[in-house]
Structure 1
Amino acid sequence: MIDPLYAFPVDATWTHDTTRVFVPIVAALVCFVAYWFTSISPQFKARFQRSHEGDEAATRHIFAIKFTGFVTMGLVPLAVCMAFIPEMGLADYGLTVIAETSLYSLAWTVGLCALVVPLASFSARKPKNLVNYPQNRATSWNRRIYMLNLLGWAIYLFGYEFLFRGILLFPLAETVGVWPAIAVNIALYSATHIPKGLDETLGAIPLGLVLCWLTLASGTIWIAFLVHVAMAWTNSLTALKHHPDIHYRPGT
């Protein structure tokens, strides 16, 4: 007779290795979702439009989004992981300088930048890219807006890369192995690019693979961070130069 309430037994044993996998993945997911819905929130944008006008409102809004990304994707998941995985310090997440791999990191950073910067510059001037970039839609940029744009990208990408190439990669690689960790990383990394279109979503797969491998090989997040900053700065500044409705006046 068939038992209608039969279910396969599930081993729900929780070990510390479970924590080292579960916490980084859930922290990454929750923190990215928190950042994303803040970044597209009309209410968040309206706060700046009520207190400032025009270009100033746009500039403050975009910089606030970048800073929010730094906090929600960098600081918050780090605090969570350090609370639940206390044996791992900053260096264990790749936030360190390793003398033995410094030349390796420098060579790959320069080499990848030499490859991706021209590609980013070429694609940034296309009309479909100018729909979204530069993200700050202030129509008249001065030196302050220009520098805030660069700073905003740098602090945002530090939090972003620390989340994906640090918190989400090292604990999993040590616990479940390199390739499962990279697979999880690429899946989530590519998924975060879905709102930006098919090209960026697919492009994130090989880029994510390369950056994960280089991060593990160097033991630090710096290759991924610096290459990503170079790409973002190139894309943003090239879009600024070619956008018909946005102009930079350095003397103002």
Structure 2
Amino acid sequence: MDIPAWKAEYLEPVLAIALVTLGFSIYHFASISDKLMQRYQEKYGEVRGRTKATWFYRYLGAMTIGIIPAIIMILVLDKDLSAYGVAFKNHALSLYWILGLGAIIIPMNFFNSKKEKNLAFYPNVREKEWTKPMVVKNAFTWCAYLFGYELMFRGLLLFATVPLLGEWPAIILNAALYALVHVPKNLEETIGAVPLGVILCLITLTTGTIWVAFFVHITLALSNFFFSLKHHPEMKVI
């Protein structure tokens, strides 16, 4: 059997797939590292150490999943970020999507956040007493992480694979990989990632920008954080 011929148009999608694989792997194995967690807990104590580690993991994920891969692809392929959806355009359409999906997500999270199953896991940071600066920092680290996340999935990976695969194959690949990175969390989030991934890809291709996906993802994460913090019987803001 002959070795398949390499074509120049393969470089961009192959590079994007390789970078999301490497970047997420670095983030994942760092986040489950007992040694790294132990260092934080030895320095800050058990609970605060876990909090500090969680915030560090989010910054790390932003870098390894999105920002560093974006820099590499820009340098290697001689493109700018607008080629991957980091552009401000179609403002009215984008705003309609953000407000429309937000109107669905926020009430849904309000009621879901009360459930015992949700409160057993969220907020991810398990502090019992929260200062206002802690609330702000936790929200900011979510934003940083989700920017890197959307920069990769609805930016680099989606726009790099569409020219070679076509729109629907690229969307399905994107949603499949997006679901796989949720496997370490739980079955419900893994299943839910499939339709959400498809919807966010369709919106991104329609608007030509990743910002709708970014703001929708932030709305999802932060509303769940704030509502879970409010409803958790053992947590309070001081």
Structure 1 length-normalised TM: 0.90
Distance in 1, matches of 2:155 and 2:20, equals: 11
CA shift for structure 1 position 48: 1.5
Residue 65 of structure 1 corresponds to 57
What aligned pairs does 1:66-215 form with structure 2 within 5 A after superposition?
A: 66-86=58-78, 88-98=79-89, 101-215=90-204
Q: Please give the secondary structure, in 2, of the residue aligned with 1:207.
A: helix
Residue 44 of structure 2 corresponds to 52
Q: Is the contact made by 1:104 and 1:218 (CA closer than 8 Å) also made in structure 2?
A: yes
Q: Number of residue pairs matched? A: 238
Q: Give the counterpart letter for 1:188 in structure 2.
A: L
Gaps of 5+ in 1: 1-8
Q: Is the contact made by 1:48 and 1:60 (CA closer than 8 Å) also made in structure 2?
A: yes
Q: Percent identity?
A: 37
Q: Give the counterpart letter for 1:15 in structure 2.
A: K
**Aligned match of 1:18 in 10, 13, 16?**
10
Which deviations, in whole Å up to 9, do the C-alpha atoms of 1:145-204 show, x marking residues without a partner?
A: 111111011111000111100011001112221111101101000111122222111111
CA shift for structure 1 position 83: 3.3
Q: Give the counterpart letter for 1:90 in structure 2.
A: L
CA shift for structure 1 position 11: 4.6
RMSD: 1.4
Q: Which moved more, 1:13-22 or 1:213-222?
A: 13-22
Q: Give the counterpart letter for 2:81 in structure 1.
A: L
Q: Please give the secondary structure, in 1, of the residue aligned with 2:71.
A: helix
Higher gyration radius (CA): 1
CA shift for structure 1 position 59: 2.9
Which deviations, in whole Å up to 9, do the C-alpha atoms of 1:95-136 show, x marking residues without a partner?
A: 1112xx110001111101101111122222211111211111
Residue 4 of structure 1 corresponds to none
Q: Please give the secondary structure, in 2, of the residue aligned with 1:235.
A: helix
Gaps of 5+ in 2: none
Q: Give the counterpart letter for 1:59 in structure 2.
A: T
Residue 36 of structure 1 corresponds to 28
Q: Is the contact made by 1:20 and 1:175 (CA closer than 8 Å) also made in structure 2?
A: no
Distance in 1, matches of 2:143 and 2:71, equals: 21
Distance in 1, matches of 2:135 and 2:47, equals: 12
Q: Give the counterpart letter for 1:242 in structure 2.
A: H
Distance in 2, matches of 1:205 and 1:56, equals: 34
Structure 2 length-normalised TM: 0.95
